[in-house]
Amino acid sequence: MCKNSVEDCIAPGNREDFEIGPDNHDTIGMIVIGKNGHIVAGTSTNGATHKIPGRVGDSPIPGAGAYADDNVGAATATGDGDIMMRFLPSLLAVEDMRKGIEPSIAAENALRRIAEFYPTFSGALIAATKDGRY
């Protein structure tokens, strides 16, 4: 089991602890910087757990699930999609980075903005600059 560190989690002997099944998956977000400097962000959705049939999730909404700008950096987020679509946290984080704010602080700022209105919001956001700071 991987309780001590990321290294423990990714060690070959521990990978079987992460079998994917219908009850243990969630959103995945990632940021990739290509060798030419192009930066992209992407996100998946966790599926239909609390989604109204026919509703579009936050993942495909620019700025909600993910946002990237080659001149600045990128961000991707997970959480209650209905709330995230109202605040566009990934866009907020990238715009903070555009102002020179460090990525970790930009991510915190975006989540704090949501928490002002939804104190019980549970979510996460990752952000990185075009030069790889996160």
Please give the Cα distance from 94 to 80 (Å, whole number).
20
Is 78 part of the annotated catalytic residue set? no
Which residues, at least 6 apart from 131, have a Cβ–Cβ distance to it below 8 Å?
none
> What DSSP character marks residue 24?
S
Q: Which of 27, 45, 76, 78 is catalytic?
A: 27
Tokens describing residue 39: 């930066």
SS3 87: helix
Tell me which residues are annotated as active site: 27
